[in-house]
Amino acid sequence: MAHSFSALRCRICNEEINSILDFNHVPIVDPYASVYKEELISLVGAPVHLGCWANHALWPEVARLAVADTRDAYKSGQVLKNNGEYTGAWLRFPKGSPIGVGTMVLPRSAYIYNDMFAENVKGGYIAGSAEDITQIAKFLESLPLEDCKEIYITTFESEDSGPTTIKLDCNEDRALLSLSGESDRLRANIYLGDARLFLGRN
């Protein structure tokens, strides 16, 4: 789908953002919860180049706040994975709901979705069904992410949505993750340093 990025400039370097593959938003956290609030106020939610954000000095601070928020939102649920204070995955099974939900905090990665007119991105979080998040974690675990140069594919039989393919298409320091079954249901641009951090391999 076409996207007009002409009006978007990176808040960090002030250059234009020309591709969905280099587009991220600084994760939404509460700047007032941080001692760096003055700097964070202008950054939180801002459009940025994926690479600029990955190299910014404050990503660990934002990651720490994102993990604390997610842990709090999932306090009635369970921890799927948590390596240190900057990343992790949590699951929750709401009463009365047929499927569980999950969130993975990957602080320098971008969740890609279609809004009304075009593709957009949400920074720092991947959300999906508990089953999808569990399968993504298992898939990442099985990959040699230290030297990721190829396309990796796996399939699983989803309890909720039938046969599902997970694909990771590596491109230097990042990789496009997609989940598809009868329809496309999740896409994210994973910063590979986040995946290694998530697995405790950094």
Residue from 52, 62, 192, 195 touching Zn ion (CB under 5 A): that is 52
- 13 near Zn ion, rule: CB under 5 A: yes
- 26 near Zn ion, rule: CB under 5 A: no
For the bound state, the minimum distance from the C-beta of residue 162 to Zn ion, rounded and expressed in Å, comes to: 40
Alpha helices in the chain (DSSP H): 37-43, 50-54, 59-73, 130-141, 192-198
HEC sequence for 43-71:
HCCCEEEHHHHHCCCCHHHHHHHHHHHHH
- 118 near Zn ion, rule: CB under 5 A: no
Residue from 25, 43, 44, 49 touching Zn ion (CB under 5 A): that is 49
Site for Zn ion in 62-81 (CB under 5 A): none
Judged by CB under 5 A, the number of residues near Zn ion is 5
Read off φ and ψ for residue 185, nearest 5 degrees: -125, -10
Taking the C-alpha atoms of residue 102 and residue 96, their distance in angstroms, rounded to an integer, is: 16
- 121 near Zn ion, rule: CB under 5 A: no
For the bound state, the minimum distance from the C-beta of residue 22 to Zn ion, rounded and expressed in Å, comes to: 8
- 50 near Zn ion, rule: CB under 5 A: no
Taking CB atoms, the residue at the shortest distance from Zn ion is 10
With tokens 């990651």, the residue in question is 63
For the bound state, the minimum distance from the C-beta of residue 26 to Zn ion, rounded and expressed in Å, comes to: 11
Taking the C-alpha atoms of residue 31 and residue 65, their distance in angstroms, rounded to an integer, is: 9
Taking the C-alpha atoms of residue 167 and residue 139, their distance in angstroms, rounded to an integer, is: 9
The contact set with Zn ion (CB under 5 A) reads: 10, 12-13, 49, 52
